[in-house]
Structure 1
Amino acid sequence: MSLQSGHTMPQSSAMPPPSWHACVRSSDVDVHASAQPQWSLNYDQLSPGRFDGQIELVQLPGLRMIREGANCKVRQRGQIGRGHYGLAMVLEQDSEAIFNGQRLSTESIMIGRGEELDLLTPAHSELIGVVVEHELLAALWQSMYQKPLSAWIEEQIVVQASTASARHLDKMHRRILGLLSSSPELLNDPVTLIQLRDAILIEWIEAIPSQVDTSELRRVEARKKVVDRACECMLAHSDQPLSTLDVCSRIGTSPRKLDYCFNDVLGISPKRYLRLVRLNGVRRDLKSRAHEARVKVQDVAARWGFWHLSEFSRDYSAQFGELPSQTLRNAQG
C-alpha cells in the first residue's frame, strides 16, 4: 500500500481532523477496504488476478468525497457512517454494476443510507461519490427546494441522471480533487472548504431527477432478502459446504428461484459465489492467523471446506495471483 496526501490520513480508531486529503494504492483487497477511515467495509474479490486498487478521499466539513477504482470485480458491503447518506456513480464499467440488487448504467446515481451499503462493481471500473451528514443534506435540500427531504431518501435506490449531469459531476470531482492535491494549504482555509463542499453537494442534488419511482423497490428487496438469507445459511456451514438443495430446504425456496435471485442480485450462481467467498475467507484467515505458531495452510483451508489441497491451491492461485503459502509468508514477514 502506498499513501500520498496533503494531510496525514487519520487511522480508523482515531477522530479525524476537520479536513484532509489522501490517496491510497493497494495490492490487497482487504487493505483497500480498510483504507477508508471511520467506515466499516468488507470487500470480496470476485474476479481472478492480482488485485490493484486506488482510492482518493477528501474529507470536508460534513462531507467526504471519494474516487475509487480497481482492476477486479468486487462486492463491497458494510457501513459508511450512521446518520449519513451516500450518493455515487460508477463511471466506467466493462459489465454491469449492481447496487442493492439494482442494475447500474454509467449515468445511474446510487442513493442510500450509510448503514446498508451493498455494491458490486465490475473489473476495471471507476466510482465517484460523496457521503454526507444527514443534517447538512437536509439543510441544503430545504434551502434549495423549500421543503424537507423526500421520503425516498430512506430507501436504497437507483435513479437516472442526464448525460450532461453525469459528465459535469465527473469533471467537478476531478477539478476539486486536483485542486486540493496541488494546493493542500486550502485544507486549512475554512471559507474555501465550505464553498467547495456546498458546490459539490449542490451538483449531486441537482443531478437527481425531479420524479423518483420507487415502485420496483419491494420486488428488488424480496429477491435480495432471498440472497442474504442464503448467504447467511451457506457461510454458517463454511467448513462443510451445503448443497443447493440443502440451502433451499433451510430457507424455504426452490433451486430455480435461488439461482434466479443470485443471478439477478449478484450476477453469479449461488454455487460459484459461495466458492469465491470461501476463497476470500481463507485469504483473510491466513493473514489474520499468520502470527500464530505452527499455523498451516491445510488447516486454514479445511476450516473453509477445502479438503483437496492441490485443487484448492490451484484455485487460490488463479483467484489471487499467488499461492496460499505465499500469502501466509507475506503476512508473517
Structure 2
Amino acid sequence: MSLSIGHPTPQSSAMTPPSWHACVRSSDVDLHASAQPQWSLNYDQLSPGRFDGHIELVQLPGLRMIREGANCKVRQRGQIGRGHYGLAMALQQDHEAIFNGQRLGTESIMIGRSDELDLLTPADCELIGVVVEHELLAALWQSMYQKPLSAWIEEQIVVQASTASARHLDKMHRRILDLLSSSPELLNDPVALLQLRDAILIEWIEAIPSQVDTSELRRVEARKKVVDRACECMLAHADQPLSTLDVCSRIGTSPRKLDYCFNDVLGISPKRYLRLVRLNGVRRDLKSRAHEARIKVQDIAARWGFWHLSEFSRDYSAQFGELPSQTLRSAQV
C-alpha cells in the first residue's frame, strides 16, 4: 500500500470531526456494543460462556476503520451511521458468518448501507471493515471509474474477493493500526490523514470484483422477511412464549418453512433462537434495572417468560458464565 496517492479527495463543507484511535476490551456483550461511538447497535450473545471481546477503531475524516472480535457467537443489528456505507470482511471463520441472510466465505466482502446492519459472527471470528460517508465514497468511485456509484451499493450484498485481495486487506489493516499505535502524532497531521484515508478506501474499492451478481438477493430477502416477522411476533409475546404453530399462524407460514428460514438466515432453530434472545433480554434488564427499589431476579425472569426459576438459573449460568443474581449484584455496585 502506498500512502502517497496525489491530491486527497476533497472534504465536504461540514466541519470535519477530530480523528482518533481507540482500543477497547470488554467482558460484557452490551458494553462491547456501546463502545462504538455514534453507532446504535444491539448485540445478542448466542453461544455459551463468559464474553470476551475486543474492538479497535480509527476515526479518519469521513471514514472509520474497525477491527473487532469476540470469543462468542454474536448477532449484531442496528445502524452504523446514517448516510454511510459499510465494507467489511469476516476473518478466521468457515461459512458460519451470515450477513443479512447471506453466508460468508473467508474471502467474502460485505457491502451495503449502514442503516440496516444484521450480522451473525461465529465464536472466535475477527472482523475488519470501514464505514464511509456516501459523499466520500461517491467522489472516489467517480474518480476511479469515471461513473457514478453502482446501483447495487444500495443493497446489502456479499461479494467474493480474490485470495490476494483478501490477504492484502487484512495486512493493510494490521499495518495501519500498528502505525497509528506507534505514531499517534499522525492523527494531528491533516494532510497525512487524508492521504491515509483515501489509500484505505481505494484498497477496499479495488477488492470488489468487476461483476456483482444480485440475482439471489430477492430470494434471500424473502427468507429474511419471514425470520424478521417471526422474531417481531415472538418478542411481542416474550412473557408468554408462543408455540411454533402459534407463530406460524400469526405470520402465515408453515412450521417447515419457518424452521428452514431460521436455519438458513441465522443458522439456528426458531425455538432455540427465541430462548437465547430472552436470556439476553433478562441479562440486559438485570443490569439496566439494578438500582430500582426491591428489584428481584424472579420478577425480571418472569417478564421474559421464565417461570421455573431453578431451570432458568441453570440455563442463564450456562449461557453467561454466572448466576443471574451475580449479574444483578455486579450492576448494583
Are the counterparts in 2 of residues 113 and 155 from structure 1 also a CA contact under 8 Å?
yes
| Shift in CA distance, 94/233, structure 1 to aligned 2, threshold 3 Å | same
Matched with 1:265 is: 265
Are the counterparts in 1 of residues 108 and 160 from structure 2 also a CA contact under 8 Å?
yes
Cα deviation 1:274-299 (Å, max 9, x = unaligned): 00000000000000000101100000
Are the counterparts in 2 of residues 80 and 114 from structure 1 also a CA contact under 8 Å?
yes
| Shift in CA distance, 16/142, structure 1 to aligned 2, threshold 3 Å | closer
Shift, 1:32, TM fit: 0.1
Shift, 1:93, TM fit: 1.4
Alpha-carbon RMSD: 5.3
| Shift in CA distance, 10/41, structure 1 to aligned 2, threshold 3 Å | farther
Shift, 1:17, TM fit: 4.2
| Shift in CA distance, 12/123, structure 1 to aligned 2, threshold 3 Å | farther
Shift, 1:257, TM fit: 0.2
Are the counterparts in 2 of residues 20 and 187 from structure 1 also a CA contact under 8 Å?
yes
TM-score with structure 2 length normalisation? 0.95
| Shift in CA distance, 8/286, structure 1 to aligned 2, threshold 3 Å | farther
How many residues align? The count is 333
Q: Which deviates more, 12-21 or 312-321?
A: 12-21
Alpha-carbon distance in structure 1 between the residues aligned to 2:330 and 2:2: 17
Q: Which deviates more, 94-103 or 227-236?
A: 94-103
Q: Where do 5+ consecutive residues of structure 2 fail to align?
A: none
Alpha-carbon distance in structure 1 between the residues aligned to 2:316 and 2:16: 37
- The secondary structure found in structure 2 opposite 1:2 is coil
Q: Which deviates more, 111-120 or 93-102?
A: 93-102
Alpha-carbon distance in structure 2 between the residues aligned to 1:327 and 1:5: 51
Cα deviation 1:174-225 (Å, max 9, x = unaligned): 0111101111111000011011100110000000000000000000000000
Shift, 1:8, TM fit: 26
Alpha-carbon distance in structure 2 between the residues aligned to 1:245 and 1:6: 62
Alpha-carbon distance in structure 2 between the residues aligned to 1:274 and 1:49: 18
Are the counterparts in 2 of residues 84 and 114 from structure 1 also a CA contact under 8 Å?
yes
Are the counterparts in 2 of residues 4 and 23 from structure 1 also a CA contact under 8 Å?
no
| Shift in CA distance, 5/206, structure 1 to aligned 2, threshold 3 Å | closer
Alpha-carbon distance in structure 2 between the residues aligned to 1:135 and 1:296: 50
- The secondary structure found in structure 2 opposite 1:3 is coil
Are the counterparts in 2 of residues 142 and 148 from structure 1 also a CA contact under 8 Å?
yes
Q: Where do 5+ consecutive residues of structure 1 fail to align?
A: none
| Shift in CA distance, 5/232, structure 1 to aligned 2, threshold 3 Å | farther
| Shift in CA distance, 2/300, structure 1 to aligned 2, threshold 3 Å | farther
| Shift in CA distance, 255/287, structure 1 to aligned 2, threshold 3 Å | same
Alpha-carbon distance in structure 2 between the residues aligned to 1:231 and 1:4: 49
Are the counterparts in 2 of residues 77 and 117 from structure 1 also a CA contact under 8 Å?
yes
| Shift in CA distance, 226/133, structure 1 to aligned 2, threshold 3 Å | same
Are the counterparts in 2 of residues 41 and 78 from structure 1 also a CA contact under 8 Å?
yes
Are the counterparts in 2 of residues 93 and 106 from structure 1 also a CA contact under 8 Å?
yes
Are the counterparts in 2 of residues 55 and 68 from structure 1 also a CA contact under 8 Å?
yes
Q: Greater relative contact order (Cα 8 A, min sep 6): structure 1 or 2?
A: 2
- The secondary structure found in structure 2 opposite 1:221 is helix
Shift, 1:7, TM fit: 26
Cα deviation 1:59-78 (Å, max 9, x = unaligned): 00000000000000000000
Shift, 1:26, TM fit: 0.2
Are the counterparts in 2 of residues 9 and 20 from structure 1 also a CA contact under 8 Å?
no
Shift, 1:165, TM fit: 0.1
| Shift in CA distance, 311/113, structure 1 to aligned 2, threshold 3 Å | same
Are the counterparts in 1 of residues 20 and 60 from structure 2 also a CA contact under 8 Å?
yes
Are the counterparts in 2 of residues 10 and 17 from structure 1 also a CA contact under 8 Å?
no
Q: Which deviates more, 247-256 or 10-19?
A: 10-19
Are the counterparts in 2 of residues 12 and 36 from structure 1 also a CA contact under 8 Å?
no
Are the counterparts in 1 of residues 89 and 129 from structure 2 also a CA contact under 8 Å?
yes
| Shift in CA distance, 322/5, structure 1 to aligned 2, threshold 3 Å | farther
Are the counterparts in 2 of residues 107 and 162 from structure 1 also a CA contact under 8 Å?
yes
Shift, 1:4, TM fit: 29
TM-score with structure 1 length normalisation? 0.95
- The secondary structure found in structure 2 opposite 1:159 is strand
| Shift in CA distance, 321/184, structure 1 to aligned 2, threshold 3 Å | same
